[in-house]
A and B are shown apart, each in its own frame.
Chain A
Amino acid sequence: MINANLKNSYAADERVLNNTYKQMFVYGMMIVLALFTFFANDYMILIASQMGILLIAVVGINILTGYTGLVSLGHGAFVAIGAYSVTIFANLAEGIIPAGVMPFFAMPFAVALAALIGVLVGLPSLRVKGLYLAVATLAANFIVIFLIEEDLFQPWTGGMVGLTTHAPNFFGWVLDTKREMFGMIAVIGFLALLAAQNLIRTRIGRAFIAIRDRDYSAEILGISLLRYKLTSFALSAAYCGLAGALLAYFFARILPEQFELTLSLNLVAALIIGGMGRSMGPVFGVIIVVLVPELIKVLFSSAVGGSASAAQFRAPLQEIAFGLLLVLFLLKEPLGINQIVDRILRAANRWPFARG
């Protein structure tokens, strides 16, 4: 199975899908996704949509943590900012901007606002590293959620009761079914993944990795730490903001508690499980993080039936499983599923001449 990997131009060598297997896989996946959109049942659409939304956010975390090496435990806040600003913008601009083009204004606004606040939250990253940054972002998460819940802003944010988001309307086409919504999420998610991949094969992405690997050495090459760390923060916040906007559209109802610490930790856990600093890492991670709790739910209800007293054990079990999964990956395979997949592919590629 050893394959020739011959190229005769630099352009061919710099492609994202630089061999036939990758091309076959990605184009194949696109066809599968298209078919899925039309033929999957409602339950599958729901799960897949959740994955898509989470994927966009995790791709953002990957830019920040995986590539730039800055740890954030507070990116749930940016998902919240995206979700709330897309809704509040639409509420305030109702009547001023026609409904048919509202998403074209509301979504960029949400993304831009998230990016802007991302820069603000990123400011401590210029002076503090690692752990201090993790706690600073965690603090920011608590503050943002608090402000959303606070009575003072209740007229806009709805406080603890949350808000209702109208379904997006593209020139009169209202995405009022989950299936249509999934189509939109899939397209945006794919583009977001591709854009992140583009980013890291250019000077910006290389600068991020340089800062992660050895920051003083990056400076010596003319990379301004200030600029690139803030850029990384802004980009990751923008991705999370986009995920938030889609989340608001998809669930049509947003509550502050959806965006608390649990979400932030979920995002980081998904990245670790999938593989940090690897392009497919977020994809693998999100699949696991969404599927495992669902699987437990299904297994659990088939094991104990519908009894209410047993049902109260389900949520704790899901929580424990999630924690165990994260810990197991950190102990056994810190490079995540991506590494496992790579190993298998490498072995398959060399077979039958060598193993491993």
Chain B
Amino acid sequence: MGQFVQFAINGVMAGAIYALIAVGIVSVYKATKVVNFAHGYLIMFGAYFYFTFSVIIPNQPWAPEWLLSWQPDWLVAQKADLPMFSPMGAVLDWVSNLPRIVLGLTGALIANAIVGRIIERVLMRPLMGQSVFAMIMVTVGLISIMSGTASLIWTADAANVPFLSPSAPVKFEAFGTTIFLLGTDLVNMVLALLMFAAIVAFVKFTKGGIAIRATAEDQSTAYSMGISVPKVFSRAWVLASTTGAIAGAILATRNGISPSLGLFGFSVLAIVLMGGLDSYVGVLIAAMTVGVLEAMTQWKLGGSWAEIVPYVAVLIVLIWRPHGLMGQKEVERI
């Protein structure tokens, strides 16, 4: 039972990150009716940007020393009194990493937003009004372009990106076993869920969000009602790429950075379809379910089986409910 709790918590933490990634796919779909098959690669770019701004740049000879490791006098004094591996020590380590974490996140956000803008402007906008198939296939082509570009730019092995938050271990007892968590994972989960909620709130309540929903409903009507559809498109892509940057930074600290991060996007795509493309709630449920199921599979069947959990789950859900858990069926007029 204790182990069950441990794996369930791991699953929920993974599920929250899935949800954060999924939000990018759903937002772009809502606004533009395009399902971005390359979203995983956008996240990979986010991860690499985070690596660039938090590791490569601070390590340059011209970078100021405090950027790599901030050591003000009070910090050094505090550190000197602490025993090894104390939770306070982890917090202090984090504080001295803080400058490059902030630079990394800001850099990743801005750089990824620019990438998202470029993709929308150069590839998606010329296709406005074209068939959905063409737009989806463009994102498929984008997979190759982005994955190739990434391996051209980032040839060095990416390693040792700083955690977003102190990585002190958290331990507690449940059902007679010790549950062991990393503080940084908990913070990541909270961060992911908060961002998820913020985006849902943005789409539900703000004027910009309403424009997105109106465009989703009927592009040409929205256009004629004075909503600038191209602006909505680019806003959605920027939203997706910035959430992707945060998700990429989190994933970089969790699993390291490699070209396989892009493939991760496909399992999130499966989750999105499972939840029902245009439903944030459905996607959240699906993300959590898959996260927990994956953790359970890992526990019972071993790690390798976990990787196909999203795919098996999506097939089962699609046969049972063709439009996902909460998706809307489009009514066809004859």
Contacts and interface: CB of A to CB of B under 8 A. Distances in A.
A and B touch in their complex, CB below 8 angstroms: yes
B123 to A, nearest CB: 6
A320 B310 CA distance: 28
A175 interface: no
Interface string B230-241: 000000000000
Interface in A266-325: 268-269, 272, 312-313, 315-320, 322-325
A136 B315 contact: yes
B141 A146 contact: no
Chain A contact patch, size range: 35 or more
Nearest to A128: B322
Contacts of A261: 263, 266
Interface in B133-156: 133-134, 136-138, 140-152, 155
A260 B150 CA distance: 20
A37 to B, nearest CB: 33
A316 B315 contact: no
Contact of B123 (A123, A135, A313, A331): A331
B265 to A, nearest CB: 11
B141 A130 contact: no
A163 to B, nearest CB: 20
A143 interface: yes
Interface string A123-137: 110011011101110
Contacts of A313: 152
A131 B35 contact: yes
Given A123-B319, A131-B132, A143-B311, A315 B141 contact: no
Given A132-B323, A319-B148, A334 B266 contact: no
Contact of B151 (A132, A140, A150, A316): A316
A146 B318 contact: no
Contacts of B138: 326-327, 330-331
A326 to B, nearest CB: 4
22 contacts: A73-B140, A123-B319, A127-B318, A132-B318, A134-B136, A136-B314, A136-B318, A138-B311, A146-B308, A150-B304, A261-B263, A268-B137, A316-B148, A316-B150, A317-B152, A318-B148, A319-B147, A320-B149, A322-B144, A323-B145, A330-B127, A331-B138
Interface of A: 71, 73, 123-124, 127-128, 130-132, 134-136, 138-140, 142-143, 146, 149-151, 216, 261, 265, 268-269, 272, 312-313, 315-320, 322-327, 330-331, 334
